[in-house]
Amino acid sequence: MDFELSDQQAAFRDLLRDFARRRIAPVAREWELSGRYPTEIIDEMKQMGLFGMLVPEEFGGIGIDAVSYAIVFEELAKAWMGVAGILGSHSLSTWMLAKHGTAEQRRRWLPDLATGKRRSGLALTEPGAGSDLQGISTVAHRAGHHYIVNGGKTWITNARHADPLPVLVKTNPEAQPRHRGMTVLMIEQGTPGFTVGKDLDKLGYKGPESSEVFLNDCPVPVENVLGAEEGQGLQQVLAALEFGRVNIAGRAVGIAQACLDKSIVYARERHAFGRPIAEFQAIQLKLADMATEVQSARLLTWWAASALDSGRRADVETGMAKLYASEICIKAALEAMRIHGGYGYSTEFEIERLYRDAPLMAIAEGTNDILRTVIARHLVRDGRA
Ligand SMILES: Cc1cc2nc3c(=O)[nH]c(=O)nc-3n(C[C@H](O)[C@H](O)[C@H](O)COP(=O)(O)OP(=O)(O)OC[C@H]3O[C@@H](n4cnc5c(N)ncnc54)[C@H](O)[C@@H]3O)c2cc1C
């Protein structure tokens, strides 16, 4: 058993680390606070091939392994989690297309998605249904060569830039079990009746937009059914969310590592009672716990990513990694704020952004309580993890 990255993975991590340190970290605080869209950073990520991370090489992607994929999110989130989010649902969409799309769908969309010329997202959540995806009410009725879609989505990351946007709908609202009536439609910008509503105000995760999407008598050609077969949508989406959990776990590790790094620097510089606060045992205990938890979360994330690389479903592994990494991330952000004292609360320092970004890690790609129920179901069913 080897807990180290391969030479190739380590070199890739160093490349990402250097990029994030030079191009993202210096502007993150100012751009995030002002609500500026990180266009220039996105342009560089396109050059680096990051929009094609999960796209096979034959379609112009770089097709990296899942451990490297987790590393991308850790390194970017260490500098600015929002920027990592721009790649998150985009890469889930490309993975779904590569895995489940027809040959024609892959040819049609993947090359432009790989370069970032086209971008994407993933539209599942509705105002009335988030965790309970089988409870969505967006419907698509077949009418000749089209599906006519009616409904709405909310909180959709990248919605304004996504083309095509995979949208989970019900093609048969009466189906039992309900998932048999669920389908993913690839909806392109400019389709009549498809509109992106307002960008939602949010605590953190600034950078990418999180928007409402409205679908009013929206005609979607039948050839835009992902995989060409109705009723496969929920399975396609749940499989993609396993990659989503690894990317959220990676982001959580990145935020937590940033909290630790900044806390160490601050604790050595800040003096109280005639000595650096790093010399107080109360501070040392926090740093030791943070370091231990960050490394545990990282190894759990790599383990879950390796399970994905084996090609099998990995609900439990990815669920555990996302659950643990996000919980220690929230804790690390709070501890970092305590270590920074009043300065931690100031927008002059980065800690307040890390603190605002951390809680989303417990909500996105399955809330932590939902993941606990998934893990527990497997434990009870199989009698082991
Ligand atoms: C910034 C941001 C970006 C997002 N981006 C996207 C995106 O790009 N695409 C997308 O589709 N969605 C996106 N989402 C939505 C996100 O995936 C949902 O918020 C999440 O899945 C939870 O759904 P919900 O908000 O409806 O909460 P609910 O499902 O209503 O859950 C509320 C609470 O009830 C608990 N709960 C619900 N059911 C159970 C149960 N069976 N057992 C135990 N507890 C339960 C939950 O754990 C939670 O604590 C985004 C959300 C945010 C905040």
CA distance 67 to 127: 34
Is it the case that residue 214 has pLDDT exceeding 80? yes
Q: Please tell me whether residues 221 and 271 are part of one structural domain.
A: no
CATH of the domain at 18: 1.10.540.10
CATH of the domain at 285: 1.20.140.10
Q: Which tokens hold the place of 228?
A: 């060409």
Residue 236 Rama label (left phi>0; alpha psi -120 to 50; beta): alpha
Tell me the per-residue pLDDT of 262-277, one tens digit each, with 9 for 90 and over: 999 999 999 999 999 9
How many residues appear in the chain? 385
**pLDDT score at 384:** 67
Concerning whether 365 is annotated as a catalytic residue, the answer is yes
Q: Quickly list H helices, the chain.
A: 7-19, 25-34, 39-47, 66-79, 81-100, 103-115, 233-269, 281-309, 315-340, 351-357, 368-382
Mutate to test the pocket of ligand 1, among 125, 136, 184, 212 (most ligand atoms within 8 A of CB): 125
Question: What end-to-end distance do the CA atoms of the chain give, in Å?
Answer: 19
Tell me the per-residue pLDDT of 311-340, one tens digit each, with 9 for 90 and over: 888 999 999 999 999 999 999 999 999 999
Pocket of ligand 1 (CB under 6 A): 89, 121-125, 130-131, 155-157, 202, 205, 210, 360, 363-364, 367, 369-370, 373
Q: Please tell me whether residues 77 and 163 are part of one structural domain.
A: no
Q: Classify residue 121: in a domain, yes or no.
A: no
Where among 189, 206, 231 does a domain terminate?
Answer: 231
Q: Classify residue 123: in a domain, yes or no.
A: no
Where among 208, 231, 254 does a domain terminate?
Answer: 231
- Which amino acid residue places its CA nearest to atom 40 of ligand 1? 370
Is it the case that residue 37 has pLDDT exceeding 80? yes
To which residue do tokens 């089988």 refer?
134
Q: Which residues contact 84 (CB under 8 A, 6 or more apart)?
A: 72, 73, 76, 77, 247, 250, 251, 254
Give the DSSP letter string of 3-17: -SPPHHHHHHHHHHH
Task: Report the predicted TM-score, pTM, of the whole model to 2 decimal places.
Answer: 0.97
When mean pLDDT is compared across 122-136, 316-330, 370-384, the lowest value belongs to 370-384
Domain span at residue 288 reads: 235-382
